[in-house]
């Protein structure tokens, strides 16, 4: 298992965006595209607000690919956490 350091968060996004699609979208709308994913692991310095298993929203540009289906982002790049419990 990948273990993030510091304030980094390991996420499984719903879909890893294609960079060329993001550039076209950003130019067309003037908006930054957002992505959603599940938190798989957190670094030791991440606040208690973010927990493993949470669904979080982040800007689609601010990530580093960790494995084929996971990414790593800084805690500060997380825009929101879905507080609703999954049924």
What's the pLDDT score for residue 87? 36
What's the pLDDT score for residue 21? 52
Do the Cβ atoms of 22 and 60 come closer than 8 Å? yes
Assign domain 8-82 one CATH number from 3.40.50.740, 3.30.365.10, 2.40.50.140, 2.30.33.40. Answer: 2.30.33.40
Residue 66 pLDDT > 90: no
The better pLDDT of the pair 84, 51 is held by 51
Structure-token pair, residue 52: 């493993």
pLDDT in tens, 4-60: 999 999 999 987 655 555 555 445 555 556 789 999 999 999 999 999 999 999 887
69: left (phi over 0), alpha (psi -120 to 50) or beta: alpha
Instruction: List the domain boundaries for the chain.
Output: 8-82
């Amino acid at each position: 298992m990948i273990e993030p350091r510091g304030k980094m968060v390991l996420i499984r996004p719903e879909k890893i965006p294609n960079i060329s699609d993001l550039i076209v979208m950003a130019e067309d709308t003037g908006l930054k595209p957002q992505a959603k994913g599940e938190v798989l692991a957190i670094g030791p310095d991440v606040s208690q607000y973010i927990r493993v298993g949470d669904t979080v929203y982040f800007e689609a540009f601010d990530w580093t690919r960790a494995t084929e289906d996971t990414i790593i982002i800084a805690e500060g790049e997380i825009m929101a956490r879905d507080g609703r419990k999954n049924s």
